[in-house]
Amino acid sequence: MAQNWDWTAGAADATVIFDIQRTTDSTPRIQMFEEAGLVVKFGFNNRALGLCMNAIRSSALDYEKLPMHVAERKVLGTGSLPEAKAVLGKFGVASSINFAIADKEGRLGTIECSPLGSSLITPDMEGVCHSDHLVSPNIPKGLKDYPASNSYARLARIKELSVSVKPSFESVRKRLSEEENYPLAICRYAPPQSSGMASICTLSTMIIDVKNMRAKLPLGRPSLKPPVKVMTM
C-alpha cells in the first residue's frame, strides 16, 4: 500500500518519524510518519497492519466523535482490517476522511469515514485507488464533498497506470512520480513563489510492505528520486 503526501511546502520542515514501543503485549509497537504535534498520520504496527489517509473536503462535522488523527491512532492499535472497521464504527469520526488499511492476511480496503457514516471500498483486480473525493457507491445520505477538480484527474490517471502492474517499491514509486497534468499531477508541484495553501505540493511518499512490516519513505517528490528512509520492525 502506498500514497503521496501533498501539503503546504513549509510542512516539509516540520515532520517527524516515531517508533512507539510499549512495555506490555496488550498494545502494538507502532512506527509512523507525521507532522510534529499530531498523534499519527501514516504508519504500520508489529501486528502487520498498515494505514494511509487522504483528505475529503466536506462540511459534515460532529464534535461527539473522534478527531480524524485520534481515530487513526485507534486503527493502529488493531491487528486486522475487520477489527479496524469495527473500532471506527464504535467511536465514529468527527469529520470526513479516507483511511486505506491493509493487514497481514492480505485484506485491503479504503474506508470513507464521515460523521454521517462510513463506506468500505474493497479492491478490484488492480487493487483500490483513491484521491480526495468520495467514490463509494454507498455514500451516506446527506453527505456532500467539495473536491478540487484535479482530484478526479489524479484518480483516473493512477487507475490507468495501475493496470496489470506488479506491485514493488520501484513500480509504486514510478506511478506516484507521474507528472501528467503538471503542476496538479499525481506528483504535484507548487507554483513558483507561492505560500500557504497555494503552495501545496508532494512532500513525501509512504510505501508500506505490510506483510513484512517494512516501509520505504522517499523524503521529497518521488519524481526527483530523493533520499529514502527505511522503516522496519
Candidates 45, 16, 9; CA nearest to 29 is 45
| pLDDT tens readout for residues 111-160 | 999 999 999 999 987 789 999 999 999 999 999 999 999 999 999 999 99
CATH of the domain spanning 2-232, picked from 3.60.60.10, 3.30.450.80, 3.10.20.90, 3.90.1150.10: 3.60.60.10
Domain ranges of the chain: 2-232
| pLDDT tens readout for residues 165-188 | 998 999 999 999 999 999 999 999
Q: Provide the pLDDT for residue 24.
A: 75
| pLDDT tens readout for residues 74-93 | 999 999 999 999 999 999 99
